[in-house]
């Protein structure tokens, strides 16, 4: 990452998790938290923790939930100069409960929290002036102030020869709101690396069928597409036609929230540090799997040493 740090822009949240599986939050139940969270924050935390230069742009409230996030990002080596502290609004939050079938119920406080209230500041401008890469999570596109920041940062990063990665992180707003959808599709056309999972590949391409979707995305200028397949691992497709598959690691998944974000942070950082696709996929899969073994969405983000130890001692799933 000789060009400068990886930036990520978007929601910073705390997550509070129900300790008993079941439906919703209509009765009093045991909860554990606050855990630092928000897909963009999890991504950038894993970038810093594995040894990349990383900086976060977003906002928290002037409260302990905000401090939980700042403390964690600082511990993991992330530059927090681009995180604004909103004097009037509390830090965003997400309450999460797993159902017996593994699906999740949520109560969100994002739109009307500090998480959604940030914009262009001198601190953001200073980061934009030296960043080498921008990562965007689709979830950040539903934050009203984020778009202007993303657009301006991206213009500066690209002018410097830097790159963009995009994780569609599909949310209902992305498919339902026309303007958000347009912005998402424009970003797809600007991306160097795309990190979809499941149906996000065909959705981003606007074309049905895996092969046709890949061809359409490469035709738009994307160089590298990494398809995350959960327990089935991940596959990298390169614009020269190469395909590299990686198996997942066998773990007891306690809390799979954040696996995709940790995968992305580890993969992107390894690639920016010059590692080949095969090894970046291995670290990505290890980061995702390791994160799933601990309760809390970024509790399992691993250092280089922790991921090396995980890879050395954990069985890979037979393909």
Radius of gyration of the chain (CA): 18
SS (H, E, C) 17-83: EECCCCCCCCCCCCEEEEEEECHHHHHHHHHHHCCCCEEEEEEEECCHHHHHHHHHHHHCCEEEEEE
| Interacting residues with ligand ATP between 169 and 198 (CB under 6 A) | 169, 197
Interface with ligand ATP by CB under 6 A: which range of 59-67, 95-103, 134-142, 228-236? 228-236
The strand pairing partners of 17, in sequence order, are 32, 96
* Residue selected from 260, 296, 300, 302 as contacting ligand ATP according to rule CB under 6 A: 260
# of chain residues touching ligand ATP (CB under 6 A): 22
Q: Which of 253, 254, 273, 294 binds ligand ATP (CB under 6 A)?
A: 253
Q: Which does 251 bind (CB under 5 to 8 A by kind): Mg ion, ligand ATP, none?
A: ligand ATP
Measured between alpha carbons, how far is 49 from 169 in angstroms, rounded to an integer? 22
Partner interacting with residue 234 (select from Mg ion, ligand ATP, none; CB below 5-8 Å by kind): ligand ATP
Binding stretches for Mg ion (CB under 5 A): 169, 197, 260
Determine whether 168 is exposed, middle or buried from the number of CB atoms within 10 Å of its CB (0-12, 13-18, 19+).
Answer: buried
Say if CB 244 and CB 255 are below 8 A apart. no
292 near ligand ATP (CB under 6 A) = yes
- Rounded to a whole number of angstroms, the minimum distance from the CB of residue 229 to Mg ion is 11
Contact set with ligand ATP (CB under 6 A) = 169, 197, 228-231, 233-234, 248-249, 251, 253, 256, 258-261, 263, 285, 288-289, 292
């Amino acid at each position: 990452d000789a060009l400068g740090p990886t930036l990520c822009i978007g929601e910073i949240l705390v997550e509070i998790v129900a300790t008993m599986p079941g439906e919703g939050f209509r009765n009093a139940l045991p909860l554990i938290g606050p855990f630092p969270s928000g897909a963009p924050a999890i991504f950038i935390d894993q970038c810093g923790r594995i040894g990349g230069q990383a900086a976060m742009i977003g906002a928290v409230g002037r409260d302990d939930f905000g401090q939980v996030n700042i403390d964690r990002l600082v511990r993991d080596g992330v530059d927090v100069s681009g995180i604004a502290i909103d004097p009037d609004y509390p830090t965003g939050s997400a309450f999460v409960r797993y159902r017996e079938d593994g699906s999740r119920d949520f109560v969100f406080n994002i739109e009307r929290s500090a998480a959604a209230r940030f914009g262009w500041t001198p601190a953001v401008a200073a980061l934009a002036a030296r960043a080498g890469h921008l990562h965007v999570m689709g979830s950040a596109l539903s934050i009203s102030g984020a778009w202007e920041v993303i657009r301006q940062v991206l213009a500066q990063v690209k002018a410097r020869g830097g790159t963009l990665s995009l994780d569609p992180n599909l949310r209902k707003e992305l498919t339902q709101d026309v303007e958000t959808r347009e912005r998402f599709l424009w970003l797809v056309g600007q991306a160097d690396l795309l990190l979809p999972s499941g149906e996000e590949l065909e959705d981003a391409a606007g074309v049905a069928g895996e092969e046709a979707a890949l061809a359409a995305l490469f035709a738009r200028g994307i160089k590298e597409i990494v398809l995350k397949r959960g327990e089935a691992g991940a596959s990298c497709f390169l614009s020269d036609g190469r395909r590299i598959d990686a198996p997942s690691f066998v773990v007891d998944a306690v809390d799979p929230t954040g696996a995709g974000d940790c995968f992305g942070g580890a993969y992107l950082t390894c690639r920016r540090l010059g590692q080949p696709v095969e090894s970046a996929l291995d670290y990505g899969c290890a980061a995702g799997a390791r994160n799933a073994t601990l309760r809390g969405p970024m509790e399992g983000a691993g250092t280089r040493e922790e991921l090396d130890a995980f890879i050395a001692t954990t069985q890979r799933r037979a393909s």
